Amino acid sequence: MEREKAKAGRKPLFEQPLAGQYPGATVMGTEEAAALSEVALSRSPFRYYGSDLQYKTRNFEDNLAHYLDVRYALGVTSCTAALFVALKALKLGYGDKVAVPAFTFLATAGAVVSAGAVPVFVDIDDSMGMDPFDLDRKLAADDEIRAVIVVPLLGYPCDMAALMAVADKHDVRVIEDVAQSCGASYAGRKLGTFGDIGVFSFQMNKLITAGEGGAVVTNDPELFVRAVRFHDQGIFREQERYGLQSPDETDAFAGLNFRMSEFTGAVMGEQLAKLPDILRRMRIVHDLVRSELQARAPQLHLRKLFDEAGCAGCYIALALPTPAIAQHFIQALAADNISAYLLYGGMPLFRRDIFRLRRTVEKDDFPYNYPFRNLIENPETSCPRAIDLCPRTVFIPISPEFTREDGELLVEGILSAAIGKEENE
Ligand SMILES: Cc1ncc(COP(=O)(O)O)c(C=O)c1O
């Protein structure tokens, strides 16, 4: 029957293209508008002072810390800024190497380079997250790697127990780049709270959004104070709020400005309040699609999920047998008005020219010109899984607007596109 449906000329399963993949923006409405106008009418858009300060950013930080069950949260302007702040809070820079996953967005490794350190790419596993075995091997081989950035891609937690054990064993710091997975968890604990520092993005295509924005979270007061200072020109203005006084500024240093505005804080407060419902709605459809596919087509290679209860539910992903079959699969889904694609064009990050050619904005190839003792491993030989999986793993977005019926149709579309193609090749 599926094969019959795959034949050309039939009506698409969905009459209209399915809604886009912008969960937070999709549910934006009067609540965000009201919060924004409160800030405008207060004429106090700066978070630290004003004639009628609404404390939107401060409240958002408190609520985010409470939601994640972490001691400190700091709003910043983006996740790229948050990564930069996190790296500097951890005193990472010139002369350091930082392990990053072979498959992630530009910003993860870009922030490392901008902070003056050098990224070392680590292979991925079947969850498309960092492979703990390759991390272990690379940390054992190179004691100049001082930190690792773990990235749960598109809502799926990484193998956190194994990754944290490896990081502990080699005594390296851990940053979790949770840009794409705010609210997802592992073993009942929210992502972003396992390592030394967690960072989040509130850019447009994230689970909650103000168009732009980010956050840094940590349980460590010393790291938090360094993060606050670096994000605000070296100043720590709210010492009493946290009971973390350092009046003589002996711990101060020159910083930059990555402060979150009250407008962003206002929108993010409302978006955070909506996050549990966004996740609940996506999870219903995600779980339905995943379990139906597992039951009806066990031969399909669904992306590995390390914690069934902890995923955000924003994407279904599966690895097709070859890149060519993956392209056919995407086209067959498109004919049914189901959007699907290869994440980052199916390319591991180390193949992008920026990293392949070690391009930086600085003169003299800084920071790649540091006289490291150990050679940086070539990811072309050390990350075979990423080279294999990325160009044949297809991601299908799930919107909080999808109904159960949409989920059921999605299953039909995926089965028809995947099984028809596999049998025909
Ligand atoms: C994994 C990851 N890290 C960092 C970022 C950067 O986030 P921002 O756009 O907020 O700087 C993104 C954005 O897409 C991302 O996906």
Measured CA to CA, the distance from residue 216 to residue 82 in angstroms comes to 6
Per DSSP, helices labelled H in 182-322 are 221-231, 239-242, 262-296
CA of 366 to the centre of ligand 1 (A): 23
pLDDT in the model for residue 245:
79
Residue 251's pLDDT is: 83
Model confidence pLDDT, tens digit, residues 92-131: 999 999 999 999 999 999 999 999 999 999 999 999 999 9
Ligand 1 geometric centre to CA of 137 (Å):
27
Is 181 close to ligand 1, i.e. is its CB under 6 Å away? no
pLDDT in tens, 352-362: 999 999 999 99
Is residue 180 within 6 Å of ligand 1 at its C-beta? yes
Residue 423 has pLDDT above 90, yes or no: no
Distance 251 CA to ligand 1 centre (A): 30
Residue 54 beta carbon below 6 angstroms from any ligand 1 atom? no
Percent of the chain with pLDDT over 90: 92
Whether 142 is in the pocket of ligand 1, judged by its Cβ within 6 Å, is no
Condensed to tens digits (0 to 9), the pLDDT of residues 195-237 reads 999 999 999 999 999 999 999 999 999 999 999 999 999 999 9
DSSP assigned state of 90: T
At 10, the pLDDT band (50, 70, 90 cuts) reads confident
**CA 105 to ligand 1 centroid distance, Å:** 6
What φ, ψ does residue 394 adopt, rounded to 5°?
A: -105, 135
Mean pLDDT of 240-254: 84
Model's pTM, two decimal places?
0.96
Report, as an integer, the average pLDDT of 241-268. 91
For ligand 1, mutation pick of 156, 178, 203, 212 (most atoms within 8 Å of CB)? 203
- The runs of H, that is alpha helices, within 11-150 are 23-26, 30-42, 56-68, 79-89, 106-114, 132-141
| Residue 265: how many other CB atoms lie within 10 Å | 24
Q: Is the CB of 201 under 6 A from ligand 1?
A: yes
From the CA of 24, how far away is ligand 1's center (Å)?
15
Residues 134 and 145 sit within 8 Å (Cβ to Cβ): no
Give 114 Cα–ligand 1 centroid separation in angstroms: 14
Q: What is the pLDDT of residue 320?
A: 98
Q: Which residues pair with 315 in a beta bridge?
A: 397
The number of angstroms, rounded, from the C-alpha of 234 to the middle of its chain's C-alpha atoms is: 27
Beta strands in 157-252 (DSSP E): 173-177, 185-186, 189-190, 197-201, 214-218
pLDDT at 214: 98
84 CB within 6 A, ligand 1: no
pLDDT at 7 over 70: no
Contact between residue 248 and residue 34 where contact means Cβ atoms under 8 Å apart: no
